[in-house]
Amino acid sequence: MLKFIGKGVCGGTAIGPAVIYKKEELKIKRIAVKDSENEILRFEKAKKKSADMLREIYEKALIEVGETGAEIFQIHLMMLDDEDFNASVRRIIVHQMVNAEYAISVTAENFAHMFSSMDDHYMKARAIDVKDISERLILALDKARGSDTLERPSIICARDLTPSETVLFDKEKILGFITTHGSANSHTAILARNMNIPAVIGVGDSFLLNVKEGDLLAVDGRAGEIFVEPDSETVIKIREKENENQEKKELLKKLRGKENITLDGKKINIFANIQGTEDIGAVLASDAGGVGLFRSEFLYLDKDTFPGEDEQFEAYKKVLVAMSGKKVIIRTLDIGADKKAGYFSLDDEENPALGLRGLRLCLKRPEILKTQLRALFSASKFGSLGIMFPMVTNFWEGERIIEIVREVKSELDRDGIPYSGDVELGIMIETPAAALISDKLAALFDFFSIGTNDLSQYTLACDRQNPNIEEFFDPYHEGIMKLIKMSADSIHKEGGWIGICGELAGDLTLTESFLKMGIDELSVSPSEILKLRDKVRKTKVGDN
Ligand code: PEP
Ligand code: MG
C-alpha cells in the first residue's frame, strides 16, 4: 500500500479503480453537425493556429538543434497546406455532415495508410508526420475528447483537468478526482465541490508514476489522503469515515424545512450554485431556498457549436419550473480565461484571466448575449428569474447592459413573445473596480452578487489557477472584506440586495462577518446548504 497526500477540496470518501486520464490520448467521436460551414470555419482557424505554433517550434528548433533538425517542422507546415489533405477534410465535413475532428482523423488515417504502403523509405516515414499534424489540428480545435471514456465507476487521476474536460466525463461514473497539479480555487475544484465528488488536488508528480490504470484507490477528500492498493484495515477505516459522514448528514437532515435565521432573528437566504439542469435534483434534495448562481456557460462548454435560443430556453425553463416560484439567478455566459470552447474561436492571450472573458466577450459579440437574453426573458414567465452579468469593471458596461436588455425586450414585444415584468437584474462584483464604483452601479441594478473567487484573484493579483502562489492567495485579506462591505453598503443605500456566490460563501468561519456586513444571501454547493443553515442558526449578528 502506498499513501499520498494532497489538498482535499471536496470532502467525502471514495474507493474504486483508478482511471489515468492522459491528454495525449485523443478519442475522436463522430458527431453529426447541422452547420457544415461552421465546421469548415473551425477547421480553417485550427489550421491557422497550428501553423502559428509550428512556426514558433521551427524557430526554437533552429536555435536548439540547427537547420537540419528543424526542417521537419517546415515539412509539417507544408503538409498542413497540402491541397489533397485539405480537400479531403472539407469533403468529409460537407458530404457526411460531421464534426471537423472526425473529418481530420479519418483523412489522416487514410493518408498515413497511403504513405506507409509506399516503397520509398522517405515517404513511408511521412505516415507518422500526418498523424502528428492531425493531432495538432484536433488539439487546436479544443474539442477532442468524448464523454464516454469511463466504462465503470472510477476515480479519475490526471495531471490537471480543465473545466471542459471535467464536464465531459459522465458524472454518474466519477467516484473521485485526483490531480497532481491544480489549485483549490480552480474551476475544476469548484466543479468537484458542486458535483459533491471527493477530490484531492496537488498530489505531486510521483503519484502518477506509482499508479496504474485499474489500481484500487481509497480517497479521503477531507484529509486529502489517497491510498493506492489499500490494505483491508485502511479500507475499513475509510468506510467508517463514510459512515460518520453519513451520520452527520442524517443529523443535518433534521434542519430540512427550517428557517435560515440567526439566534437574534436575522433571516437570510441560502441558495444553491449549479452548472446545469442535471443539478436540479441535488438542489431540490438540499432544501435550498433558490438558485443563487446558475453558471450558464456550462451549456456552451459541453458543445461543438453555440446552443441556440430554443435549446437555452428549454434549459432555463426546466430550472425555473423545477424551482416552482423560488428565485433562480442565472448568470450570463462567462466564457474565456480557463473556460474555453473551440467554436468561439478565441485568440490565444498572454493573460487570459485579464483578457476577453465574461461580459467583455458578450459586449464585443452582442449577438451571443442577445440570443441568451431572448431565451432567458422568454423563460422568465415560468418562475422567478434574476439575471446577472459577470466580470463588470466599468460603469459604461452597466449602462450598456441596461441598453441591451431594453433592446431585447422590445424585440420580444415586436415578436409577440411574452415575458415576466419582474425579472431582477444584477451584476457580479468580481473586480475591485466594480466594488469601488459600486455606489454608481447600485443605481442601475436590483442586486449584486459577490464572486469571491475572482474578486480575490483580482484584488490580490494572484492567479486562482496557480498552485505555486497559494500562500499569497489569502481570501481572508482585509482588502477583500472591505470591498465586500463597501458593495453591501452601496446596494443597500439604493434599496437593493446583495449575495455572495463565490466559494467563500460556504466558509463557515466567515458566516458571522458576512451576516454582520448585511449580506442578504449566500449561495453554495447543494451539499453545503444544510451545514450553512446550521451555522446561521448558531450565529448571533448583534446590532453592528
Ligand atoms: C466567482 O468568481 O467567485 C464566481 C462565483 O464565478 P466563477 O467561479 O464561475 O468565476
Ligand atoms: Mg467569477
- Closest ligand 1 atom number to CA of residue 273: 5
Stretch among 169-183, 363-377, 409-423 having the lowest mean pLDDT: 169-183
In sequence order, which residues have a C-beta less than 8 Å from that of residue 478 and are 6 or more positions away?
none
- Whether residue 468 is predicted with pLDDT greater than 90 in this model: the reply is no
Of 118, 140, 162, the domain-final residue: 140
Q: What is the pLDDT of residues 12-21, one digit of tens each?
A: 899 999 999 8
pLDDT bin (cut points 50, 70, 90) of residue 144 is very low
Mean pLDDT of the region 129-141: 82
> In percent, how much of the chain has pLDDT > 90?
64
> Is ligand 1 within 6 A of the CB of residue 295?
yes
- Whether 414 and 532 map to the same domain: the answer is yes
Nearest by Cα to 532 from 281, 261, 333, 301: 261
Pocket test for ligand 1, best of 164, 190, 297 (most atoms within 8 A of CB): 190
Average pLDDT, the chain: 90
- Whether 135 and 155 map to the same domain: the answer is no
Continuous segment of H or E residues that includes residue 536: helix 529-537
**Which three-class secondary structure string do you get for 230-254?**
CCHHHHHHHHHHHHHHHHHHHHHHC
Pocket test for ligand 1, best of 166, 194, 295 (most atoms within 8 A of CB): 295
pLDDT bin (cut points 50, 70, 90) of residue 416 is very high
- Whether 429 and 484 map to the same domain: the answer is yes
Q: Residue 355: its pLDDT value, please? A: 95
- Whether 305 and 369 map to the same domain: the answer is yes
pLDDT bin (cut points 50, 70, 90) of residue 345 is confident
| Residue 116 maps to a domain | yes
| Residue 120 maps to a domain | yes
| Residue 544 maps to a domain | no
- Whether residue 389 is predicted with pLDDT greater than 80 in this model: the reply is yes
Of 234, 265, 299, the domain-final residue: 234
What is the number of other CB atoms lying within 10 angstroms of the CB of residue 96? 15
- Whether 332 and 404 map to the same domain: the answer is yes
Phi then psi dihedrals of residue 4, to 5 deg? -130, 150
- Whether 157 and 298 map to the same domain: the answer is no
Give the CATH number, domain containing residue 227.
3.50.30.10
- Whether residue 452 is predicted with pLDDT greater than 80 in this model: the reply is yes
For residues 305 and 33, the answer to whether their CB atoms sit within 8 Å is yes
Nearest by Cα to 371 from 299, 432, 420: 299
- Ligand 1 atom 9: residue of nearest CA: 295
Number of domains composing the chain: 3
Can you tell me which residue has the cell 488539439? Answer: 139
> Is ligand 1 within 6 A of the CB of residue 454?
yes
- Closest ligand 1 atom number to CA of residue 297: 9
Q: Residue 148: its pLDDT value, please? A: 44
Number of alpha carbons in the 13 Å side-chain half-sphere of residue 440: 12
Q: Residue 285: its pLDDT value, please? A: 87
| Residue 240 maps to a domain | no
Q: Residue 146: its pLDDT value, please? A: 40
- Closest ligand 1 atom number to CA of residue 293: 5
Q: Residue 319: its pLDDT value, please? A: 97
**Which three-class secondary structure string do you get for 399-461?**
HHHHHHHHHHHHHHHHHCCCCCCCCEEEEEECCHHHHHCHHHHCCCCCEEEECHHHHHHHHHC
Q: Give the range with max mean pLDDT: 33-42, 72-81, 137-146, 354-363.
A: 354-363
Distance in Å, CA 306 to ligand 2 centroid: 21
Domain extent, residue 169, equals 2-21+148-234
pLDDT bin (cut points 50, 70, 90) of residue 393 is very high
- Whether 328 and 451 map to the same domain: the answer is yes
Residue type, 289: G
For residues 133 and 107, the answer to whether their CB atoms sit within 8 Å is no
Continuous segment of H or E residues that includes residue 115: helix 100-116
Q: Give the C-alpha separation, 37 to 137, whole Å.
A: 17
For residues 223 and 8, the answer to whether their CB atoms sit within 8 Å is yes
- Whether 192 and 328 map to the same domain: the answer is no
Which amino acids are annotated catalytic?
A: 187, 501
| Residue 542 maps to a domain | no
What is the number of other CB atoms lying within 10 angstroms of the CB of residue 250? 9
pLDDT bin (cut points 50, 70, 90) of residue 466 is confident
> Is ligand 1 within 6 A of the CB of residue 430?
yes
Q: What is the pLDDT of residues 68-96, one digit of tens each?
A: 667 777 888 898 999 999 999 999 999 99
Mean pLDDT of the region 360-387: 97
> Is ligand 1 within 6 A of the CB of residue 453?
yes
> Is ligand 1 within 6 A of the CB of residue 193?
no
| Residue 191 maps to a domain | yes
Phi-psi category of residue 155: left, alpha or beta, with phi > 0 → left and psi -120 to 50 → alpha: beta
Give the CATH number, domain containing residue 513.
3.20.20.60
- Whether residue 205 is predicted with pLDDT greater than 50 in this model: the reply is yes
- Whether 352 and 478 map to the same domain: the answer is yes
| Residue 242 maps to a domain | no
pLDDT bin (cut points 50, 70, 90) of residue 23 is low
Mean pLDDT of the region 506-516: 97
- Ligand 1 atom 4: residue of nearest CA: 451
- Whether 199 and 276 map to the same domain: the answer is no
Q: Residue 64: its pLDDT value, please? A: 62
Which residues have CB atoms below 5 A from the ion given as ligand 2? 430, 451, 454
Of 140, 161, 186, the domain-final residue: 140
For residues 273 and 293, the answer to whether their CB atoms sit within 8 Å is yes
pLDDT bin (cut points 50, 70, 90) of residue 27 is confident
